[in-house]
Structure 1
Amino acid sequence: MYDGRRVVSLLPSATEILFAIGAGDDVVGVTFECDEPAHARTVARVVSNSALPEGLSPSQIDAFVAARMAAGEDIYHLDRAALAGLDATLVVTQDLCAVCAVDVSEVHDALDFLQCKAQVLTTDPHTLEEVWASIEAIGAATGRSAAAERLASSLRGRVGAVRSSVAGMGTPRCAILEWTDPAFSPGHWVPEMIETAGGLSVLGDAGEKSRRLSWDEVAGSRPDVVVVAPCGFGLAESARLASEVVAAGVLPPDVPVWAVDANASFARPGPRLADGVEALARILHPSLGSPDPAMARPARA
């Protein structure tokens, strides 16, 4: 009889962390968005879904989310029927963003309803160091402390190496757009990523939430570089939205505009944030060489 841990991950970043530290075989439940590694949704049961209709434009998504939040309605739902029978011993969730995953209160309600005594590990990182610490916390909760500590140490080393490599190279003004219609500033760890990569975040502050912006505010921030990193979008979709923003003429003329894989390396608090820092350093400091084309591409050089 299997007597190991049975983990339900309600965050794509947590799923990525669990597999990265060798706890993938313990994962029995994931969300519909858990796509790293790609096979996560085939080896574990999908236990949450979204109320967000498919095919909406960024402005329609913003309106839908705003209406749901104003009505006190959740964006994500925990499927109690799918959760039942998994005999989970650990549920990893978040209390960071109401529009990013199942609300932690719904998790507790569902576990109570199912009379499940699983431990609930809630992560709430706002900075890069808190992201690395969350990896260690997940490792401790799954009996993978050594692997988690090695991973967190390597990520600290990588971002530290980036910081050292850009020292003395100047501080270009960088505007990252976390959404494009309407425009939103970057939040939480993303401004810190800019600073670590040797830039100055001109729209958002490290550790703070993102906020809605006017295009006059974006232009008035006098960016040297604009990076389009819409939450929930991969590189292809980000590139399309960046091209639309350029075509709309709402950005300062002649400023380079880049699109990045926001899902992989900016929006999710997981190991690949280090990839994002490395890509940003090359975007902000071209003398370092071009960023990985699988992670970033120019919309306007």
Structure 2
Amino acid sequence: MMRVVSHTCSNTEIVCALGCAAYLVGVDQDSDFPAAVVGPLPKLGRDLSLDIPAVKALHPDLVLSSQTLPGHETLVEQLLAENLPTLVCEPLSLDDVYADIRRIAQALDVASRGEALIAEMQQAMPAVPVVSDAPKVLVEWWPKPVIAPTRDSWATDLIERAGGCNPWRDVAGKSVPLTDAQVLSAAPDIVVMAWCGVPLHNYRSEIVRRRAGWEEVPAVRHDRIHAITEAWLGRPGPRLVEGYRALRELIGAAGG
């Protein structure tokens, strides 16, 4: 049986969704789903503190890594320097997520399952026609400073598939820090807290409400400040479907 080490939550969840959970011999510290699968597995460090010697000691046939954060490239270099067979994911768009699922499925010799998973996700996330007055959605990756997804982000794709508009969709890059003035100018109709690395029970709408001037933001005026776990929006894998569904519900309720 193939021995696989996964270095990111999304890769872990992709492996499991492909029916290959039994291949996993180690995961990163943040992989927490499915709990029954990852619970007993060795935890090999967080994001930029992956324990390379511990990875090597597991004798993996494949290491699934990532370059989604600055600094990941150094870890990838270290994995390759140890001659560990490594597949690196760096998705930007939703199509990139599908492409990574396809590559991982091929590497695990379950290509047909990969195609089936992609088709299942696509069917579960139908594109809602976007109208000219579609609700504007601010997804917050971080609360201070407010950081929002931009053009090169699967989150922007999800917002638009769900019938909304990301006011920063034309800004180059993955994300951008925003000033209060920029948010006031954009006037989002919905604010979604999806704070990276923060447990859902620690999301607080009052943090959004008490920002200077934000009482004029339509989302605040109309009490449309919502929490969607970062596990559904920030992990480029199968559970983006749950993020889409949550966005669709909020956007639909706002008239989109």
TM-score between both structures, scaled by the size of structure 2? 0.88
Change in CA separation of 1:44 and 1:107 when aligned onto 2, cut-off 3 Å: farther
**1:145-178, CA deviations, whole angstroms, 9 ceiling, x for partnerless residues?**
1222111111011112xx24x5669511222222
Residue 94 (structure 2) aligns with: 128
Residue 68 (structure 2) aligns with: 96
Post-superposition shift, 1:244? 1.5
Post-superposition shift, 1:250? 4.0
Change in CA separation of 1:258 and 1:234 when aligned onto 2, cut-off 3 Å: farther
Change in CA separation of 1:95 and 1:216 when aligned onto 2, cut-off 3 Å: same
Q: How does 1:1-301 map to 2 (within 5 A)?
A: 4-49=1-46, 76-98=48-70, 103-110=72-79, 112-113=81-82, 117-160=83-126, 163-164=127-128, 171-187=134-150, 188-205=153-170, 208-238=173-203, 240=204, 242-251=205-214, 252=217, 253-286=220-253
How far apart, CA to CA, are the structure 1 residues paired with 2:254 and 2:187? Answer: 22
Q: Among the aligned pairs, what percent are the same residue?
A: 28
How far apart, CA to CA, are the structure 1 residues paired with 2:213 and 2:13? Answer: 36
Change in CA separation of 1:206 and 1:189 when aligned onto 2, cut-off 3 Å: farther
Post-superposition shift, 1:256? 3.2
Structure ranking higher on relative contact order (CA contacts 8 Å, 6+ apart): 2
How far apart, CA to CA, are the structure 1 residues paired with 2:211 and 2:131? Answer: 35
What amino acid is aligned across from residue 237 of structure 2 in structure 1? G
Structure 2: any 5+ residue segments left out of the alignment?
Answer: none
Post-superposition shift, 1:110? 4.2
Post-superposition shift, 1:237? 2.2
Give secondary structure in 1 for the equivalent of 2:149: coil
Q: How many residues align structurally? A: 250
Change in CA separation of 1:28 and 1:88 when aligned onto 2, cut-off 3 Å: same
Post-superposition shift, 1:197? 0.9
Structure 1: any 5+ residue segments left out of the alignment?
Answer: 51-75, 289-301
Give secondary structure in 1 for the equivalent of 2:39: helix
**1:127-153, CA deviations, whole angstroms, 9 ceiling, x for partnerless residues?**
111112211111110112122211111
Change in CA separation of 1:250 and 1:168 when aligned onto 2, cut-off 3 Å: closer
Give secondary structure in 2 for the equivalent of 1:43: coil
Post-superposition shift, 1:186? 1.6
Moved >6 Å (runs of 4+)? none
Kept in 2, the 8 Å contact 1:93–1:104? The answer is: no
Change in CA separation of 1:27 and 1:82 when aligned onto 2, cut-off 3 Å: same
